Amino acid sequence: MGYLRKSNLKDFKYVVENMRVMDKIEALYQTGLSPEDALSYTFLGSKTNMTIADDDGQPIGLCGVQKDGCIWCVATDELFDNKKYRIQLIRQGKPCWLITTSSSSGNLFCSNAFFLVYS
């Protein structure tokens, strides 16, 4: 079953090179930067970075919490190839995100609460 682990640069490089088209477009529209640069700034500016890994330990996404409490997530297409990976991400990620955001800002942004409850 998929799992979360602390991210490393090898995971980051793999996900950047294999990021979903939807995530690339979103990064470009939100920041005006290339998807690679936008993810680099997000990754470096976060206090928590986690890798979403498949059954074999291969990275299939990255997620984290920025210093201001904003939760973020990007993925490769593999995350959506198997429903159990999405379910496991929510089960393992939610406690991590709630603890991290609660300690930094005392609340969740509305969009993040929507993601945690309905994804």
Mean pLDDT of all residues belonging to the chain: 76
The Cα–Cα gap between 46 and 63 comes to 10
Whole-number pLDDT of residue 106: 40
What residue spans define the domains of the chain?
3-118
Q: What percent of the chain has pLDDT over 90?
A: 39
Whole-number pLDDT of residue 33: 94
Question: Is the per-residue pLDDT at 107 higher than 90?
Answer: no
Whole-number pLDDT of residue 94: 54
Q: Is the pTM higher than 0.75?
A: no
104: nearest Cα among 17, 36, 52, 46: 46
Whole-number pLDDT of residue 96: 53
Quick one: fold of 3-118?
A: Aminopeptidase (3.40.630)
Whole-number pLDDT of residue 78: 86
The Cα–Cα gap between 33 and 12 comes to 17
Cβ of 47: how many Cβ atoms within 10 Å?
13
- For the stretch 35-84, pLDDT in tens is 999 999 999 999 889 898 888 889 989 988 888 888 888 999 988 777 66
The Cα–Cα gap between 79 and 54 comes to 8
